[in-house]
Amino acid sequence: MRVCFDVKHLYYLPQYLPVFDKLTQQDIQCEFVFYQQENESLQSICEQVIHAEGLTAFWFGGWEDAFKFYQQQKHCWIIFGNLVSDIQQLHQFSKTALMQHGIGPKNCYYEVSKNATTVRFVEGEHRLNRLESLFPDGNFVDTGYAKLDPAFNNATQAVCIEKMGLDPDKKTLLYAPTFYPSSIECFAKDFPQEFNNYNIIVKPHFFSLTKKNYRRQKKRLTHWQKSSNVYLASTAEYNLVPFMMAADVLISDASSAIFEFAALDKPVIWCDFYHLRWNYRGIFKYRFERRMDEDMAFFHQLAHQVKSYHKLMATVENALADPSAKQSERQTITSNLAGRTDGQCSLRIANYLIANV
Looking at the fold, whether 52 and 87 belong to one and the same domain comes out as yes
Instruction: Decide if 153 is inside a domain.
Output: no
Contact yes or no for 213/283 (Cβ under 8 A): no
Mean pLDDT, 10 residues at a time, over the chain (357 residues)? 96 96 98 93 94 97 96 97 92 96 79 91 93 95 97 93 97 94 93 98 92 92 97 94 97 90 96 71 54 69 94 97 95 92 97 97
Residue 283: alpha-carbon gap to chain centroid: 31
Looking at the fold, whether 305 and 219 belong to one and the same domain comes out as yes
| 3 state DSSP class of 184 | helix
Cross-strand partners of 35: 60
Neighbours of 349 (CB within 10 A): 26
Instruction: Decide if 77 is inside a domain.
Output: yes
Mark out the alpha helices in the chain (DSSP H runs).
13-25, 40-53, 63-73, 87-90, 108-111, 125-134, 149-152, 191-194, 206-210, 215-224, 241-246, 257-263, 285-291, 297-302, 312-321, 327-337, 345-355
Looking at the fold, whether 131 and 192 belong to one and the same domain comes out as no
Q: What is the pLDDT of residue 311?
A: 97
Looking at the fold, whether 331 and 347 belong to one and the same domain comes out as no
Give the integer Cα–Cα distance in Å for 223 and 294.
Answer: 35
Looking at the fold, whether 116 and 174 belong to one and the same domain comes out as no
Q: What is the pLDDT of residue 93?
A: 95
Give the number of domains in the chain: 2
Range of the domain at 166: 162-337
CATH number of the domain within which 259 lies: 3.40.50.2000
Residue 218: alpha-carbon gap to chain centroid: 19
Instruction: Decide if 157 is inside a domain.
Output: no
Looking at the fold, whether 119 and 207 belong to one and the same domain comes out as no
Contacts of 46 (CB under 8 A, 6+ apart): 10, 34, 37
Claim: this prediction has a pTM higher than 0.75? yes
